[in-house]
Chain A
Amino acid sequence: MTDSKSTESAATGTRRIAIDPITRIEGHGKITLMLDSDNHIQEARLHIVEFRGFEKFIQGRPYWEVPFFVQRLCGICPVSHQLAAAKAVDQLAGIEQLTPTATKLRRLLHFGQILQSHALHFFHLSSPDFLFGFGSDPMRRNIAGVLEKYPDIAMQGIKMRKYGQQIIEAITGKRIHGTGTLPGGMNRQLSQTWRDALLADIEDILEWSENALRLNEQIHTEHPEQADFAMFHSNYLSLVDNTGALEFYHGGLRACDSGGTPIFDHQDYCDYRQILREEVRAWSYMKFPYLQQLGNERGWYRVGPLARVNNCDAITTPLAEAARRRFKAFGGEGPVHNTLAYHWARMIEVLHCAESIQRLLHENEITGTDLTAEKGDRRQQGIGVIEAPRGTLFHDYTVNDEGIITKANLIVSTTSNNQAMNESIRSVANRYLDGREITEALLNHLEVAVRAYDPCLSCATHALGKMPLQVELLDATGTLVHRLVKQGGGGN
């Protein structure tokens, strides 16, 4: 929920306002650009008020409550938190293996979640930038504008999102914040009625996913000028399955350097503390994770669709695999580093979700009744890691003998992209900053760059497209040179 006090802003999308009440900015995005003495951007900082209080909040609660507690972290990706926590809870309850039906239901739920999240991001938030241009009239550069000019694309986006939400509803009982997971399983069977209803629409979803993918391929192949937008080399981190293929629900960790060479591979995520470190910087609430092996200077990495599609050796469904090969070819067989290629990778994943959903719905076990596994000996620590829509998500809980949480550590996807978002901002600001004034054009371009990551800011203040953004320019002495604010677009 954005706090958009100015009603005019809802109507016009942007406007300059007098900046005084800092309180209105709290919890919203703020960017600080720091100039050196030659008026080049030396450093860029994206400030996000992240809700770290959560890890304290959960202390003292019984462990089996955690998946439903944490899913409240976020209104858009609650299922991701529920699933990551559920995997940790399985370990806490001493469960090694779920029943085939429970595993398939969780995977189906996860595919549904990624599909709806990616569809929302691309169609509602990002497609206007591409269809109308980054600098175009902000009044038109929104989903309403897309509906008017490209009604087919907009409708497909809306229906794809709805389809993903229906999968979530079929399994958790509600489109948002339902239940579903239990220690060692799931709480309800998928009904035959739901299965048939979902199968009835899957062909459309597949076709629209292919359309969306094609649109993204065109954007990249027909607009080479966008290739170096916010472009920089980085490491990538993601889960892969045991054959090295793209995997969202369960696998080992793989990190590759900017040349695509593995830094580590098939790492058990329960050892994540040996591989990852988190750096705290005084100016940000959000931590800066890095690969321990490379150190804090060079060890930062990107996660999310771009990382996953770059890192994997294959995709297990045919259409998405063919799309991945085209993507690879575009990158000269090495990793694609274009920040805007996040969108392309996202649509490859959407196609993979659609294909996987179709496969799962055709399996007999998906409507099975064997939903929970026997509990084993309770354990002191449970670690659940999944690939959430925005990237690798870590949940780590320690419990006492009575099953009460004593410690929790979360690394949310957006945190992993922290450094990368700052790099993107710096790159864009250096290119678009004209003199010592922050222009609307600069602000718009910064927004496009950050939005490529689909940041889940604080996993509470969601989509950047709707949130107020403040950009400040400081000179080499730290004096404020200029400031510009864009109000939230309302309607959240």
Chain B
Amino acid sequence: MTYESNKAIDANSITIDGETVPFDAGQTIMDAALAAKIHIPHLCHYPGLTPAGNCRLCMVEMNGESVAACVTQAQSGQQVSSNTPELNAARLAITQMLFVEGNHICPSCEKSGNCRLQAMGYYLGMLEEHFHQFNPRREIDASHSTVLLDRDRCILCDLCVRASRDIDKKNVFAIAGRGIHARLVVNTASGKLGDSNIEENDLAAKICPVGAILIRERSFDSPVGERIYDRRSISDTALTEHVPEKEVDRG
């Protein structure tokens, strides 16, 4: 970065970890950071979708207050710290919680190497799960001919819900229940994916950051060494993600 921290803060800029970052009116701290190629860890944010503030990984300190960067409007003069040992420790704990709340068996999961939760674990230096496993009992839904829903791995990020509702205009998914009882449901009478109109090419079928929504029988087709996070860190890939234009147009 070439921003200089001692430069006078102009009307439309904030600082993130001492760097001056400009923003456009209406942008969140996350938007401004991404535009400036600064990585604030996040799992439930995806440029092009309305932010939801679900995962709390993007917690930053803003003028001494903890806020979620993805849902906080940028305002001139904000001094934001993100990449601090304390915040990263909190993010690590959140990531560990996400692991133990579901059933994430990375070794046999086909999303391994392409999974954003796993990549976040690596990025934050997670070496163990730390907390006790919840071992929840969750249902797998294999009723659809091309899309599989394995709730064991769902982190309730809500991305598929938003993608299906706002981009695909199909409203296939919803999150029902609260807290520990929250679960991903399918908006059909039977509750089965097979009775929904989701299709393989829908954004909702492709956006899941973990291995909860998968295209069937594609398992393990990217060889070890050629998977996304074999080559790049999530702090790098996260800067280039966005809903493709044509998908937005479709909406």
Binding site for B on A (CB under 8 A): 60-62, 64-65, 68-69, 72, 93, 172-174, 177-183, 187-188, 375, 402-404
Please give, as numbers and ranges, the residues of chain B lying within 8 Å of A180 by CB-CB distance: 223
* Interface contact A68-B108, CB-CB below 8 Å: yes
Q: Which of B107, B142, B219 contacts A404 (CB under 8 A)?
A: B142
CB-contacts of B45-92 with A (<8 A): none
Q: Which of B148, B150, B220, B225 contacts A182 (CB under 8 A)?
A: B220
B189: shortest Cβ distance to chain A, in Å? Answer: 18
Instruction: Tell which of B110, B148, B222, B223 has the most Cβ of chain A within 10 Å.
Output: B223
A57: shortest Cβ distance to chain B, in Å? Answer: 10
Please give, as numbers and ranges, the residues of chain A lying within 8 Å of B216 by CB-CB distance: 62, 64, 403
Kindly state the separation between the CA atoms of A177 and B108 in the bound complex, as whole angstroms. Answer: 9
* Interface contact A188-B108, CB-CB below 8 Å: no
- The residue on B at minimum CB distance from A402 is B142
B134: shortest Cβ distance to chain A, in Å? Answer: 17
- Dominant SS at the B interface? loop
Given contacts A177-B107, A403-B142, A404-B142, contact A62 B148 (CB under 8 A): yes
Kindly state the separation between the CA atoms of A65 and B218 in the bound complex, as whole angstroms. Answer: 10
B188: shortest Cβ distance to chain A, in Å? Answer: 16
Given contacts A173-B225, A404-B142, contact A72 B217 (CB under 8 A): no
- The residue on A at minimum CB distance from B148 is A62
* Interface contact B222-A187, CB-CB below 8 Å: yes
B27: shortest Cβ distance to chain A, in Å? Answer: 41
Q: Which of A172, A182, A402 contacts B221 (CB under 8 A)?
A: A182
Tell yes or no: B226 within 8 A of A by CB.
Answer: yes
Please give, as numbers and ranges, the residues of chain A lying within 8 Å of B109 by CB-CB distance: 65
* Interface contact B224-A183, CB-CB below 8 Å: no
Task: Please classify how large the interface on chain B is, using the bins under 10, 10 to 19, 20 to 34, 35 or more.
Answer: 10 to 19
13 contacts between A and B (CB under 8 A): A62-B142, A62-B150, A64-B110, A64-B216, A64-B220, A68-B219, A93-B217, A182-B220, A187-B222, A187-B223, A188-B223, A375-B217, A404-B142
Kindly state the separation between the CA atoms of A172 and B222 in the bound complex, as whole angstroms. Answer: 11
Q: A64-B216, A65-B110, A403-B216 are in contact. List 7 more A-B contacts (CB 8 A).
A: A61-B140, A62-B148, A62-B216, A64-B219, A173-B223, A180-B223, A181-B220
Kindly state the separation between the CA atoms of A181 and B217 in the bound complex, as whole angstroms. Answer: 12
Tell yes or no: B5 within 8 A of A by CB.
Answer: no
A378: shortest Cβ distance to chain B, in Å? Answer: 9
Please give, as numbers and ranges, the residues of chain A lying within 8 Å of B143 by CB-CB distance: 402
* Interface contact B221-A72, CB-CB below 8 Å: no
Interface string of B108-127 (1 = CB under 8 A from A): 11100000000000000000
